[in-house]
Structure 1
Amino acid sequence: MAKKKIKTNAIRHLEAQQIVFHTTEYRWDEETLSAVDAARDLGVAPDEIYKTLVLTGTTTPYLVAVIPGDATLDLKKLAKISGNKKVDMLPMKELESLTGYVHGGCSPIGMKKKFPTFYFENMLSLSEVRVSAGKRGLQLVIDPSYLVEVTDGILGDIIK
């Protein structure tokens, strides 16, 4: 019997726009939810997996940053590029109600609402990147230019 194909909001959104992508699955548990853990399980470099971070700003109520799995977000750089005086991480308890996604399974695509989305500028130098498909243990593999296009993303230097 064929395995049932997993559908998430992110996958439905990409299919509706006829964007080329594929998915890969990896093992996870509550102790291994990081992008680095996913990279290890998938056998890829941590900078090929991009993690999705949701933040609040002084001007922009909510915004999204998508950075390499082994990188650290620079809050001051993101505040400046996004036109905010200050940005802070969204409290974890608010993530699912705001985005429709849980910690460890938050995709930049297909959130309940579309938020300004900022990507680390070097992402376009890769032929493909991996981001969460909207479910723990499932990654989208996609051309980074499609990812930026589908989210109306903004590129910039946003990591330390």
Structure 2
Amino acid sequence: MTPAINLAKKLKLDYQIHEYEHDPSAESYGLEAADKLGLPAEQVFKTLVVETDAKKLVVAVLPVIDTLNFKKMAKALGCKKVQMANPKVVERSSGYVLGGVSPLAQKKRLPTVIHDSAQSLATLHVSGGRRGLEIELPPQQLANSLNAKFADIID
């Protein structure tokens, strides 16, 4: 299993694993997951890594159908500006490949912000640590295990 699944098991989170056949030509990993698993896109969340103006990496977890609002993310972090982190830096820092970056069990634990829409869901789906693998769990358990905060970070 992946580090994300191993951590969920170790923390005794209420989780379920969902696997599907990943299509390498899929334009959006998150939308592909929602489609192949027959889930509403609002329940499937993507993991993005941004860099602050202080050159610190931070994780944003948001619905796959939405776009990260950089100004709102910066405000949630109390900094002036954020931008997408370099993909190679993301892979090195997280230990995961793009399209399979899980917010759980990254090599370097980073501050994390989860979009506040997650709080209204019984469960959400995030990457389980590789393309074609999703982990479903209650949003509050995800937030607690990451010491994450909820905020409005989308357009």
CA-based RMSD of the aligned residues comes to 1.1
Q: Tell me the equivalent position of 1:20.
A: 14
Q: Match for residue 4 of structure 1?
A: none
Residue in structure 1 matching 2:74, options 71, 79, 88: 79
Aligned to 1:153: 148
Instruction: Say whether 1:9 aligns with 2:3.
Output: yes
Alignment of 1:7-86 (within 5 A): 7-32=1-26, 33-59=28-54, 61-86=56-81
CA shift, 1:60, in A, is: 5.8
Shift of 1:30: 2.4
List alignment gaps of at least 5 residues for structure 2: none
Question: Structure 1, residues 130-149: CA drift from partner, whole Å, max 9, x if none?
Answer: 00000110000101110111
TM-score after normalising by structure 1: 0.92
Q: Distance in 1 between matches of 2:72 and 2:37?
A: 30
Gaps of 5+ in 1: 1-6
Q: Secondary structure at the match of 2:92?
A: helix
In 2, Cα distance between the equivalents of 1:125 and 1:113? Answer: 29
Aligned partner letter, 2:67: T
CA drift at 1:47: 0.8
**TM-score, structure 2 length as denominator?**
0.95
2:132 maps to 1:137: yes
d(CA) in 2 for partners of 1:92 and 1:113?
15
Name the CA distance, whole Å, in 2 between partners of 1:23 and 1:114: 22
Larger radius of gyration: 1
The structure 1 segments of at least 4 consecutive aligned residues displaced by more than 3 Å after TM superposition are: none
3-state DSSP of counterpart to 2:54? coil
